[in-house]
């Protein structure tokens, strides 16, 4: 498989994850090995095979649209890294 196309630095940007130069180089080598192992999947003829997204194909599951107990505002904020005035404090979005 075309594991040579794996650009770890680029993918890390997509995943919103900073990597050090050492991590980037290490993952590049290690994941190329994992993808090379997975190249065996190319041997199979999958022309007429349906993909399986799930272990047990489930049809849509519906429930009544009724309110159920949920977290209080105090509970929802309890684990926040920063909170004030009953709100989450977030990093500035607009420059």
Is residue 16 a contact residue for another protein (CB under 8 A)?
A: yes
Among 4, 5, 21, 73, contact with another protein (rule: CB under 8 A): 5
Please give the full DSSP string across 53-66, using - where no structure is assigned: -SSS----------
Is residue 76 a contact residue for another protein (CB under 8 A)?
A: yes
CB atoms within 10 A of CB 44: 8
Is residue 84 a contact residue for another protein (CB under 8 A)?
A: no
Exposure string for 5-32, b = 16+ CB within 10 A, e = fewer: eeebeeeeeeeeeebeeeeeeebeeeee
| Contacting residues toward another protein, per CB under 8 A | 1-2, 5-6, 8, 11-12, 14-19, 23, 27, 30-31, 33-35, 37-38, 40-42, 44, 46, 49-56, 58, 61, 63, 71, 75-76, 78-82, 88, 90-93, 95
């Amino acid at each position: 498989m075309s594991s040579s196309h794996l650009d770890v630095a680029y993918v890390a940007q997509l995943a919103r994850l900073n990597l050090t130069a050492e991590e980037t180089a290490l993952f590049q080598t290690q994941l190329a090995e994992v993808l090379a192992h997975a190249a065996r999947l190319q041997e199979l003829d999958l022309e007429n095979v349906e993909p399986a997204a799930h272990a047990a194909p489930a049809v849509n599951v519906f429930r009544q649209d009724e309110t159920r107990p949920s977290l209080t505002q105090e509970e929802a904020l309890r684990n926040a890294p920063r909170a004030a005035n009953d709100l989450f404090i977030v990093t500035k979005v607009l420059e």
